Each structure stands twice: as C-alpha cells, then as structure tokens.
Amino acid sequence: MKQCLVIVLSCLWVLSGCSQHSNAENTETFTYEAYELPLEDKVSLGDGQNEIVFVFDYSCPWCKKWMEDVLPEIESRWLDNGEVAFKGQPLVLLNERSQLLATVDANAEQLIPEQYYEFQRHIASDAEIDDYGTEAYVRRLAETFDVNAEVLLVPRVDEGIQNARLYTRDLGVDYVPTVYVNRIKLLDAFSLEEMEQVIKGEIQVGDQVEVDMAQ
C-alpha cells in the first residue's frame, strides 16, 4: 500500500514520509470500521446510492496517482451507470501549500460547483509545476476556470486545521490517501476489488483481515 504517512506535532500537521506502513510485528489485524463523515452538504460527482469518499492532501504524490489511476476506474465501473456518488475531501496535513490549496478548493466548491471535480483533478495534475501551491499558481488557475482569484484566495485557515484534526483524531485517517465506501474505511485505498466487496456487502463493519506488514 502506497501512502503518505501523517504525524501530528502540537497543532502542526507534517509529513513523516511517503512509504509503506511499517510495524515491529510481521502481521497486524485490520478491523473494518464505519465513520460518520461530515460531508452531507458537499458537492458530489454522481448521485448513486453507494458513496465513495476520497480523503487526500494536494501535496501527497500518491494522492495524485490515485486521482490519475483509480478515479477513472471508479467512473467507468460505477459512476457512469449511476451506482455510486463520489466525494473528494482535501485536508491540510503536509505543508503550507496543502493549506493554500485546501482553501482554494473549498472556495471553488462554492464558486463553481458544476466544475468542482474538474477543478480538483486539474490541481492534482499540476503537482510537479515549480510554483505549485503558491499564490501565483492560484491566480493562473483562476484564469483557467474564469473565476475571481481574490475570491479563490479568501482565507480558511482555521477550517483547514480543524478538518485535519477531526479526520486524524476521530475519523480514522492515519495516512493519505484514505478511502471510505459507504462510510467504511478501506484497508487499501487503491484496491478496486475492496471497494466492490464493500458495495456488494461482502465486507461489513467488524470484519477483520490479517495484514502482512513485511510486504
């Protein structure tokens, strides 16, 4: 499982490293748990009865890869036939650029809800640009989507930190990307098979699986 590990240090959210999760033991038991995610009012892509939620950080390279590789598969398998609704929630976990882009994301959701997920994908695709996550970058982004840059840049600092604290403290986020299907947190955010098992009811809350931590 590829992911960006998150460490909480006082009120700062910093990157400890992009790596595979490690443990002193060779195996660990993972228990499937459900969480009440505060996303009732969030714009969704699709309107199916099943819900997939992608929690990410714009500065995480594995989150970018998830958007490029996994989201198109979700669209073709479940979104296009109306089976699933998708929501993407950025958090402020890794650095100052994460904070600015999460702010811009929240403002864009209000400004251009019909283009919101195109907007998210566009930002993720730009992750290797030198000035990514800077004010200059956001101003170019505003031109691309024909929105007011000043409105995109309206600060939401407290909201971003509060979201990060909530998800890491109460909603099971130990790393990004984290994916929930019908409120159940997945073991592997990249596993389409695991998503399908939850959708079909083959994985339920309380089920357990042994994880080989040496892999």
Q: What is the pLDDT of residues 120-139, one digit of tens each?
A: 999 999 999 999 999 999 99
Is 33-204 CATH 3.40.30.10? yes
Statement: residue 187 has pLDDT above 50: yes
For 14, phi then psi, to 5°, come to: -130, 160
For 213, phi then psi, to 5°, come to: -75, -10
Considering the chain, what is the average pLDDT of its residues? Answer: 88
Do the beta carbons of residue 27 and residue 213 sit within 8 Å?
yes
Lowest mean pLDDT among 18-27, 83-92, 99-108: 18-27
pLDDT band at 19 (very low <50, low <70, confident <90, very high): very low
